[in-house]
Chain A
């Protein structure tokens, strides 16, 4: 079988297929939509990151440092809302998933290309509304919008929540598209258990997106109706119940943390297998644990409300169920470690991110257990311990996997290779900066530093200073990573079709792929049969070993 080995930068590819801004804005090509998402999502990450640095600068001293208390409240709200709704929820599925999913299926596009474009524009509309709220008085409720505060504060809650509502629909349509694509565009020879694990991750994610997001939608609608019309369903003064808001909110937002982490786990499965040059260990366990996580994630939301006036019985049950989540999560981690064991681990940049993920997500997950246990949570809830926990899972987990995936698929997306040495330096600084920032927060949280506070006791000052220094190391790491990627666009070596030796289908077309994805229809086999690929010096990448010959790296 002829597998393209080369680079299509200078021939016909999806980037050169049509020219002009209209060919981008009205494109139905999943690859271009993925790229547009990628650019927009990275811009949101930058915005959220600037807010984060401002927060950390304010916390340099126990008193006022650079801003007043109200501005501070707006800062952490905007930081949280931008990072969660604009960056991390759409991040992996909408940007990387959009680009990779049809390629991995050997298909030409997602099932509904127009819906795909619509969901991108819904994302834009939601982002614009969020920006409008910043201009018209910002929001100071925290990204959780708890009532009754969110119905009484005089900041622009309505435009922010309306933005989140619209972003929710964007997310639903992406999920819908992915489920239908996986069901209906999978080639007949690719059975469910021959699917790359990234697709299992996206599939589990899509299920949650579809079943949980509408509940957030109705919650936000009720909140808007409450502010605009005074319906009072969450207002105790009118007989309503503010705790009901929390139930609704977390019924979405706990599963939402798995909307964030499941695709990340999918990315990690790909990275670990590819860079260990070894067949993934425990394929079925990893695949099924994605589904198990998706299911259990719907049953644990009450662990955010242990101190909100929920009955003791309910708390007990939620606590038990929370512990169950740890099982499928650990199943995955053990299988990744087992894949690396006796593999030929190659420390390329994406693999450095994958290793960071294993370490950071491990800490994030294990500290979740302290929060899931009733007795310890009463002490730790609403402290910096929680802040550190969810940053280890969301940032150390999802965001790190996102960047790992970005460096992994970058040659496929752009047709360019980046400078490994600098990219590794960036990954390393991010890892160091991350731990400096958030380990300190575990300690001060356990000692009682409350979250979302503007001033604090002087005893906590050293921890806050360490944390702020860490944040700047992180920022430097990201600047380097961004510089590496931008530099590659202009000066990078042309990328081969398969630079890493992966066996999934997206590597069996040129880099970047042609408009229709494949010149010749690829034949799906075992997606982790990496031994069939050998390094070819002439092509600069991996090529299929001549049949019969034993594979392996040269």
Chain B
């Protein structure tokens, strides 16, 4: 979903200036745009909130799956991507500053740098996805691990429950005859001692859904930034008017922020 709030800035009802006729003054209009953007960001957080919630439920109920499966993610590539996005947030913030100071050329360059970081991120993500594809480490129905060694990684620590009412209790799958337990905290059946836990595909489902949706947001953010870049080249922004740059920046920071949560939750599990 793209941020739409900043589309509202110009020429509503055919007015010449940047102030639409239904706002008392420019300040009210800028404030309205910002409030709108923040509210929009809140909806984005809640959209991902559902996924974080699913993550929490499954990880709490089946920590062994997450501990086992996260070894298949490439920490190095994930780490590089984290750095790339943090750096792009930095260039974005600087771009907003450049717009505020009417530094036209610098603004264009910084926006281009931000978009470039987006491409690097997507490229690295592609390498990761492709690797998973080859190994058959895909979501739900498509999970078909290719190599024997893949199904038995070397150093799998014994499963440890993350949250548990009773510290003695260990989370396992419910035995087949028991219906799904949902969020119930009732004591589960005794443990089972396999190295490769059942239902590993669940981790990859969560992984692909979360990173996939995030990836779509990166793409949407890049499209918006590209549009801002075109407008910046036409010289539309200056210290007098830079709200669209500002709002697009906010959106980009949110996209980065979500990744900063995704990285440790998916790649760095203990």
A interface residues, Cβ below 8 angstroms from B: 28, 102, 107-115, 118, 169, 172-173, 176-177, 179-180, 183-185, 210-215, 217-219, 221-222, 225-226, 229-233, 235-236, 238-244, 247-248, 308-311, 313-314, 516
Contact = CB atoms under 8 A, between A and B. Distances in A.
A82 B31 CA distance: 37
A212 B43 CA distance: 8
A115 B2 CA distance: 12
Given A113-B13, A242-B180, A230 B8 contact: no
Pick the most buried of B44, B201, B205: most chain A CB atoms within 10 A of its CB. Answer: B205
B5 interface: yes
Given A210-B43, A214-B43, A310-B182, A231 B8 contact: no
Given A229-B142, A233-B140, A238-B141, A214 B184 contact: no
Contacts of B7: 114-115
Contacts of B4: 112, 114-115, 118, 173
Contact of B209 (A115, A217, A231, A516): A231
B198 interface: yes
Contact of A231 (B65, B180, B181, B208): B208
Given A214-B46, A222-B209, A111 B12 contact: no
Contact of A215 (B50, B139, B183, B206): B50
Contacts of B140: 226, 229-233, 235, 238, 240
B47 A115 contact: no
A111 B205 contact: no
B8 A308 contact: no
Given A115-B5, A215-B46, A176 B180 contact: no
B105 interface: no
Contacts of B43: 172, 176, 210-211, 213-214
Contacts of A212: 46
Interface string B1-41: 10011011000110000001111000010011001100110
A169 B43 CA distance: 10
Contact of A211 (B8, B22, B42): B42
A460 B208 CA distance: 50
A222 B198 CA distance: 22
B141 A229 contact: yes
Interface string B251-266: 0000000000000000
B164 interface: no
A485 to B, nearest CB: 29
Contacts, number: 175
A533 to B, nearest CB: 27
Describe B's contact surface by its main secondary structure: helix
A233 B206 contact: yes
A440 B102 CA distance: 71
B123 interface: no
A313 B33 CA distance: 44
Nearest to B202: A239
B153 to A, nearest CB: 19
Given A107-B22, A231-B139, A239-B201, A184 B31 contact: yes
A210 B213 CA distance: 19
A38 B74 CA distance: 53
A248 B47 CA distance: 11
Nearest to A30: B22
- A108, A177, A218, A219 interface centre (most CB from chain B within 10 Å): A218
Contacts of A211: 42-43, 46
A241 B57 contact: yes
B48 interface: yes
A210 B22 contact: no
Interface in B160-196: 173, 179-186
B35 A183 contact: yes
B120 interface: no
Given A218-B50, A229-B142, A247-B182, 4 more contacts: A185-B23, A213-B43, A233-B54, A239-B201
Given A109-B22, A210-B43, A219-B50, A236 B183 contact: no
Nearest to A234: B54
Nearest to B141: A230
Contacts of A176: 5, 36, 39-40, 43
A208 to B, nearest CB: 12
Contact of A236 (B36, B180, B205, B213): B180
8 nearest interchain CB pairs? A232-B140, A230-B141, A239-B199, A243-B182, A218-B50, A108-B22, A214-B46, A214-B47
Interface string B48-77: 111101100110001001000000000000
A231 B179 contact: no
A247 B206 CA distance: 17
A311 B5 CA distance: 42
A189 B221 CA distance: 39
B25 to A, nearest CB: 11
Nearest to A308: B182
Contacts of A179: 35, 39
B49 A214 contact: yes
Contact of A241 (B1, B40, B182, B198): B182
A247 B183 contact: yes
Nearest to B43: A214
5 contacts: A112-B5, A112-B8, A115-B5, A222-B50, A309-B184
Contact of A232 (B186, B201, B213): B201
Contacts of A214: 43-44, 46-47, 49-50
Contacts of A248: 50, 53
B35 A114 contact: no
Contacts of A236: 180
A180 B32 contact: yes
Contact of A180 (B39, B44, B47): B39
Nearest to A225: B209
A321 to B, nearest CB: 16
Nearest to A235: B140
Contacts of B35: 179-180, 183-184
B186 A218 contact: no
Contacts of B50: 214-215, 217-219, 222, 248
A309 B182 contact: yes
B85 to A, nearest CB: 22
A172 B28 CA distance: 22
B47 A231 contact: no
B13 A244 contact: no
Contact of A244 (B62, B141, B182, B198): B182
Nearest to A169: B1
Nearest to A118: B4
B36 to A, nearest CB: 5
B90 to A, nearest CB: 28
A114 B4 CA distance: 9
A210 B13 CA distance: 27
B42 A113 contact: no
B139 A232 contact: yes
Contacts of B213: 218, 221
Given A215-B50, A240-B202, A230 B142 contact: yes
A242 B7 CA distance: 40
Contacts of B142: 229-230
